[in-house]
Chain A
Amino acid sequence: MPKKLRFAIGAGLMVAAVAYLIVTAVRNTAEYYLTVGEVKARQTELSGQMLRVAGRVDAGTIAWDPSTLTLKFAMSQPPPDASGAGLKPVAVSAGANFTVICRGQPKPDMFAPGRDVIVEGLLTPAGVIEARQVLTSCPSKYAPKQPK
């Protein structure tokens, strides 16, 4: 029995170590994942934080400077159901949008007006999202049937 106990303790320590790693890593790396509407609703509280924001690129707002790799666009809340699967808006203010500036990254190939994007970045007090990364809905190969 003591042998079993000794091994149970060893295995337990191992499990505890993994749990500890997970907990500390979550604490250090977690980011809020919100929609544009949710961010707007809690803008003051979230200002200065790293966020992941899901939204839709507004047509006619895209400015792309290929020589400095600066991408600027406005992003707004997509209409409900149409996209952002699984994102249930908690508190939404309609018609909200944010200006996003992403510097030093190539423009993603799938980036286009009306596309759904996820922006990772910092919400400045001025209400601009300084993006570290803009992710587009890339090989959306399992897209549902689109009405044609």
Chain B
Amino acid sequence: MPLIGQLALALALIIAFYSIVANVIGARRGIPTLIVSARHAVWAVCAMVTVAMGALWTSLLQSDFSLEYVSSYTSFTLPTFYKVTALWGGQQGSLLLWTWLLTVFTAIVAFQNRRRNPEIAPYALAVLAGVAIFFLAMLNFVTRPFDMLSAIPAEGQDLNPLLQNYWMAIHPPSLYTGYVSASVPFAFGAAALITGRLDDSWIRSTRRWAIFSWFFLTLGNLFGARWAYEVLGWGGYWAWDPVENAAFMPWLVMTAYLHSIMIQERKDMLKVWNLALIGMAFGLTLFGTFLTRSGVISSVHSFTASGLGPYFLTFLLVVCVLYSGLLIARVKSLRTPAEFESYLSREAAFLFNNLVLVGIAFAVFWGTLFPVLSEAVRGVKITVGPPFFDKVNAPLALALIFLMGVGPLIAWRRSSLDNLRRTFTAPAILGIVAGLCAFLAGLHQWYVLSALSLAAFVLGTVVAEFRRGVSARRHMVSESAPKAVVNLIAKNNRRYGGYVIHVGVILAFVGIVASSFFRVEVKKSVKEGGSFYIGPYELVYLGLTTRETPHLESAIARVEVFRAGKPIAVMAPAKLFYKRPQQPATEVAIRSTPASDLYLVLAGIDDNTGMVTFQVFLTPLVFWLWAGGLIMALGTVIVMWPNVRERAAIGAAVRAPAALEFDAQTVPGGE
């Protein structure tokens, strides 16, 4: 098996080289057979890497400890589910997964563009193959998944207990899918720059890829936060750790990109900006991969250098230099006569939304790299922790939420005062009323009040939009209100799916604000039968039970929860002791309701006195963070849903070269 995998990776590297050469020469000289051959090469690369994946999975499932990777990350006693997920538990495997996703996406792109985009697709495929070559070179020469051990150990070292968790099984693949699929729009952007075909066909052809990437970046971040919440046992879900930031920054930039391409599609503006954004997004995905593997930044996730850093940094720099060079060379032909007319316009709202998103991304980037920068400049390592990120991002988040309410509703070009009044009076009143109610209810922090007001304002605008749409439909066709809502979404899935995403963002935002401001913590040591209070709950410690399997031992505390004297639940936080590597782990117990989460940690067991110590968090509204995240995902699915009309439009645009020529000519090059 290992030999097959090794061989497949070597072949993949060679074929990937061939696919670049064939694609570029085929496109430049106009040799269709070469282009076809290059396409087959792309599929062959995908097949080879798939074989390598299969080989590693087989070895993992067979517990073939002659393989260094298998013996480092699994053991005989590891449950089969985690033997499967161990594929991305370690460095080599996770890079292999990465490469595999990239080659699969490239193969799909090659298939989609069999007859479409004849000018730019070969170059886009060449760019994707170039990225694949870097990763394949790493897998072949630097961090090899199929390295063998000279002495076969009797038992493996096992997967880190913190990774033996459901969320860890799905978080990395989601995030990687999001990361890797961002390279498709990037490759088309680069191809547009190389070929000089700078109309927006590269955007339209990859719009769905960009949304797909955003969808998985969203889920990846959400699952990662959920993992931290359930496994790390500190009651929070986000600590602004460099690795978290590395996943968050591409999400921010992709969000900006998805918004600003709407301006280009509608108004033919922001062309340079869009190309720059997708370059940044792709660069940040590489940067994220680099960050987790380089040891440049000390993160709680990755203490140790792995030797990959310099290669990644070099590749990142090469990509940045080449791409910026191309972009600068083409700036002249990207100029457009269209310009912003008024601050009170949708273009302006979108522009500012972009600036805020990129501003947040930059602040996060700055804070993440601050230790390195300060050491370089002043010779002293200075770090900024979570307070820095909270301080900078809190006001920017408010600005973003405000623009989120304004942007989708304000008129294009220039909004009249009358239009503003009609559109925004009701939502604004709703926002102010919500703020007042919160104030009267006893909330006095200015940030919380403005956050709630703005959230209500945005929800108001979305509801108003739905109402307008529904009543317009019901004027034309007679249908019931619920049916009208469904049809409204189905007929305009991009627009109304977008609103659904916005609702999800607002719910998540409210969850984040409430959980950051109003979390209550109680620590208590109790004997069996002892009780204590948190918020409206009384917790009674019933006793400790122990359990043992070949894989782990556990000590489980049973805690009965009372509210107003009535028993409502029995919770069971536990301490686990993994046998290999010998290491304790915490299993928190969470009782989640829409109003608040009761979060129980078994913090300490004193064998001498029989006392146990609990750390308990009562976090209001954190439920809505997860619910909001899922609603965002749902909205994205609605946006991505195939829409017959749109597909026909893309087909017409990209299949008719004449139309393309015409488009290209109407865009004046130069001043």
Cα separation A23 to B363 with both chains bound (whole Å): 10
Q: Check: B568 CB closer than 8 A to any chain A CB.
A: no
Cα separation A3 to B269 with both chains bound (whole Å): 15
Number of A-B contacts (CB under 8 A): 187
Q: Check: B302 CB closer than 8 A to any chain A CB.
A: yes
Q: Give 1 or 0 for each of A63-77: 1 = CB within 8 Å of chain B CB.
A: 011111100000000
B605 engages A66 (CB within 8 Å)? yes
B contact residues, range: 35 or more
Q: Give 1 or 0 for each of B420-460: 1 = CB within 8 Å of chain A CB.
A: 00000000000000000000000000000000000000000
Give the Cβ gap from A148 to chain B, nearest Cβ, in Å: 8
Known A-B contacts A15-B355, A142-B306; the reply to A4 vs B339 at CB < 8 A is yes
Q: Contacting A18 at CB < 8 Å: which of B307, B363, B370?
A: B363
Q: Give 1 or 0 for each of B147-162: 1 = CB within 8 Å of chain A CB.
A: 0000000000000111
Cα separation A104 to B304 with both chains bound (whole Å): 29
Contacts of A14 in B (CB 8 A): 352, 355-356, 359
Cα separation A93 to B363 with both chains bound (whole Å): 36
Contacts of B554 in A (CB 8 A): none
Q: Give 1 or 0 for each of A86-128: 1 = CB within 8 Å of chain B CB.
A: 1110100000000000001011011010001010100000000
Q: Check: A41 CB closer than 8 A to any chain B CB.
A: no
Give the Cβ gap from A78 to chain B, nearest Cβ, in Å: 10
B300 engages A85 (CB within 8 Å)? no
Known A-B contacts A22-B392, A67-B609; the reply to A140 vs B384 at CB < 8 A is no
Contacts of A140 in B (CB 8 A): 160, 301-304
Contacts of A67 in B (CB 8 A): 525, 604, 606, 609, 611, 613
B343 engages A25 (CB within 8 Å)? no
Contacts of A87 in B (CB 8 A): 298, 381
A109 engages B340 (CB within 8 Å)? no
Cα separation A84 to B381 with both chains bound (whole Å): 13
Q: Which of A34, A67, A69 has the most CB of B within 10 A?
A: A67
Q: Check: A59 CB closer than 8 A to any chain B CB.
A: no
Q: Check: A44 CB closer than 8 A to any chain B CB.
A: no
Please name the residue on chain B nearest to A8 by beta carbon: B340
Contacts of A141 in B (CB 8 A): 89-91, 160, 163, 301-302
Give the Cβ gap from A89 to chain B, nearest Cβ, in Å: 10
A86 engages B305 (CB within 8 Å)? yes
B90 engages A142 (CB within 8 Å)? yes
B583 engages A69 (CB within 8 Å)? no
Q: Contacting B604 at CB < 8 Å: which of A22, A66, A135?
A: A66
Cα separation A15 to B362 with both chains bound (whole Å): 10
Cα separation A145 to B384 with both chains bound (whole Å): 31
B300 engages A138 (CB within 8 Å)? yes
Q: Check: B584 CB closer than 8 A to any chain A CB.
A: yes
Please name the residue on chain A nearest to B578 by beta carbon: A109
Cα separation A110 to B586 with both chains bound (whole Å): 10
Contacts of B340 in A (CB 8 A): 3-4, 7
Cα separation A120 to B383 with both chains bound (whole Å): 11
A32 engages B381 (CB within 8 Å)? yes
Known A-B contacts A106-B233, A144-B306; the reply to A26 vs B362 at CB < 8 A is no
Contacts of B408 in A (CB 8 A): none
Contacts of A52 in B (CB 8 A): 383, 385
Q: Contacting B303 at CB < 8 Å: which of A15, A25, A26, A85?
A: A85
Contacts of A60 in B (CB 8 A): none
A142 engages B379 (CB within 8 Å)? no
A contact residues, range: 35 or more
Q: Check: A54 CB closer than 8 A to any chain B CB.
A: yes
Give the Cβ gap from B380 to chain A, nearest Cβ, in Å: 7
Cα separation A87 to B380 with both chains bound (whole Å): 10
B392 engages A25 (CB within 8 Å)? yes
Q: Contacting A69 at CB < 8 Å: which of B68, B89, B374, B603?
A: B603
Interface stretch, picked from B110-118, B130-138, B288-296, B641-649, is: B288-296
Contacts of B355 in A (CB 8 A): 11, 14-15, 18
A66 engages B613 (CB within 8 Å)? yes
Please name the residue on chain B nearest to A90 by beta carbon: B379
Q: Which residues B381-420 have CB closer than 8 A to chain A?
A: 381-385, 387-388, 391-392, 395-396
Q: Contacting B611 at CB < 8 Å: which of A7, A17, A29, A66?
A: A66
Cα separation A147 to B403 with both chains bound (whole Å): 55
Q: Check: B348 CB closer than 8 A to any chain A CB.
A: yes
Contacts of B525 in A (CB 8 A): 66-68
Q: Contacting A139 at CB < 8 Å: which of B163, B341, B352?
A: B163
B160 engages A86 (CB within 8 Å)? no
Cα separation A139 to B523 with both chains bound (whole Å): 26
What are 12 sample pairs from A and B whose C-beta atoms fall under 8 A apart?
A: A3-B340, A3-B341, A14-B359, A25-B391, A83-B304, A110-B583, A112-B583, A139-B301, A140-B160, A140-B304, A141-B160, A141-B163
Residues of B within 8 A of A (CB): 68, 89-91, 160-163, 232-233, 292-293, 295-298, 300-307, 339-341, 343, 348, 351-352, 355-356, 359, 362-363, 366-367, 370-372, 374-375, 379-385, 387-388, 391-392, 395-396, 523, 525, 583-586, 601, 603-606, 609, 611-613, 615
What 11 new A-B contacts, CB under 8 Å, besides A14-B352, A109-B586, A141-B91?
Answer: A17-B359, A21-B363, A21-B396, A30-B370, A32-B380, A66-B611, A83-B303, A84-B303, A86-B296, A136-B300, A138-B300
Nearest first, the 8 A-B pairs at minimum CB distance are A66-B604, A85-B295, A106-B603, A18-B359, A85-B305, A25-B391, A137-B303, A33-B381
